[in-house]
Amino acid sequence: MVKNLKIAENLIYLRRKRGITQEVLADFLGVSKASVSKWETGLSLPDVAQLPKLASYYDVTIDELMGYEAQLTMKEIKEYYERFAEDFSKHSFHQVMEEVRDFIRQYYGCCPALLQVVVLLLNHYMLADVAEQPKILEEMVGLCQHIQEKSTDVNICTQATIFQAGIELLQGKPEVTIEKLQPYKNPQGRIENSETLLVQAYQMSGQMEEATEWNQVIIFMHLLSVVENSTFYLMANLNNKEVGLSTIERIEKILEAYELKKLHPNTYLMFQYAMALFYATWDMEKEALNALKTYVEDGIDFIKNAAYLHGDEYFDKLDGYFKKMEDYNMLPRNQKTVLASIGQELEHPVFEKIRGRKEFQELKQREELWN
C-alpha cells in the first residue's frame, strides 16, 4: 500500500519552518486565507495547479510536499517478495502477474523493490504459458533498464546490468549479453580488490572485529562462486569424461573441507544434480543414482527445514553479518516451487536408462509425496 499522504501536516510544518503566516502564503498564491486554513486542517486539498507553486515556494518536490513515499524498506520488500512467491505456488501465474504489475506501477520509483521484482520473475517466469514467457522476459528487461537510468546506487545499477544480460541470454541474444558483460573481463573493470582493501582499512584503524567479519564474508562468497561456476563448467563438459571427473574430484574436496552441505545447501545440491547428469551421460548408473539420491533426499530436507544462510565454528562471524543483511535470507523461490522444480529435473532425458531402476522410482515417489 502507498503510504498515507500527509499534505495538511506538511503544509503546517513548511509554513512554520519558513516563518510566515497563512495570510502571506495566501497572498503569494492568490487565494484566500480561508483556503489555506482549510488545506492545513485537512478540510480540503489545494488545487492541482497550486501544487507546483507550493513546492517551488517551499523548495521541495511535489512528492515531499504531499508526504508521498514511494520507497519501501528492505523488510517490506522481503514481505512483498515472500507473499508473491507464495501466491505463485498457489494461484495461476496470470493472476499473480497482474498483482505484480500493479506493485510495479505503485513503486516504480523504488529501485531496490524493482530489482527484487526482477529476481522474483527470474525465478518464476517459467510457470507462465510458453507463449507468454517472451513478454515476461521483455518486461524484465524494461525494469532493468529503468533501474539503471533512475538509481543512484552503483551496486543496484551493476546488479540490474548483470540481470539484464542474463535475461537477454534467455531471450537467445548471446551477442548482447557478451557486449554488456565484456567490460567485466577487464581487470580494470573489476572491483574485487576493494574487498581486501576494506579488510586492511579496518585492520589499520583498529576495527579488528569488522576486519574479521568482512574477511570471512569474502572467503565464504568466493567459495560459493567457485562451486557455482564449477557446476556450470561440469554441465558444459558433460561429454568430456576427463574434465568432468577432474572437476568432480576437486569440488567434492572443497564441499567436504568447508562443510558447504550445511552452510549453503542450495549450492551443494545443484552440484550434486550436475554430477548426476554427468554420470548418467557416461552410463555410470550407480554413481548417477547416488548423486540423485543426495539431490532429492537432501533437497527435501532443505525445503522441509526452510534453511537459511548461517555460519559455523570456522565462519563464526557470518551469523552477525547475515543478521544485519535483512534481505539476504530471502528465499529465491517459494518452497513448493522449488520442490516442483526437483520433479521437473528428474524428467531430464539423460536419466532415461535409469528411469526403470527401483532406486530411481523410490526417489520419484518420495518427491511426489512431498509435492
Do 101 and 166 sit in the same domain of this protein? yes
Instruction: Specify the 3-state DSSP secondary structure of 358.
Output: helix
By the 8 A CB rule, do 78 and 327 touch? Answer: yes
pLDDT 10s digits, 182-223: 776 655 445 455 678 788 888 988 999 999 999 999 999 999
**pLDDT reported for residue 134:** 96
pLDDT 10s digits, 293-331: 999 888 888 777 665 678 999 999 998 888 776 554 444
Cα→Cα distances 136→64, 94, 202, Å: 33, 11, 44
Do 231 and 341 sit in the same domain of this protein? yes
Do 15 and 97 sit in the same domain of this protein? no
Residue numbers of the domain that contains 121: 74-185
Distance CA 262, CA 243 (A): 27
pLDDT at 8 over 70: yes
* Domain stops at, among 144, 167, 185: 185
Q: Is residue 335 situated within a structural domain?
A: yes
The fraction of the chain above a pLDDT of 70, given in percent, is 88
Q: Is residue 1 situated within a structural domain?
A: no
Angle between helices 7-18 and 50-58 (to 10 degrees): 40
**pLDDT reported for residue 71:** 73
**pLDDT reported for residue 275:** 97
Instruction: Specify the 3-state DSSP secondary structure of 311.
Output: coil
Give mean pLDDT, residues 352-361.
92
Distance CA 234, CA 255 (A): 15
pLDDT 10s digits, 49-85: 888 889 888 887 777 787 655 578 888 898 999 899 9
**pLDDT reported for residue 110:** 87
* Domain stops at, among 136, 164, 185: 185
Distance CA 209, CA 312 (A): 17
Distance CA 256, CA 248 (A): 12
Give mean pLDDT, residues 118-134.
93
Confidence of residue 355 (pLDDT cuts 50, 70, 90): very high
Do 181 and 231 sit in the same domain of this protein? no
Do 47 and 80 sit in the same domain of this protein? no
Do 311 and 209 sit in the same domain of this protein? yes
Do 79 and 164 sit in the same domain of this protein? yes
**pLDDT reported for residue 367:** 67
Distance CA 203, CA 275 (A): 41
Q: Is residue 227 situated within a structural domain?
A: yes
pLDDT at 346 over 50: yes
Do 131 and 272 sit in the same domain of this protein? no
Give mean pLDDT, residues 128-134.
93
Do 56 and 98 sit in the same domain of this protein? no
Distance CA 226, CA 81 (A): 28
Mean pLDDT of the residues in the chain: 86
pLDDT at 368 over 90: no
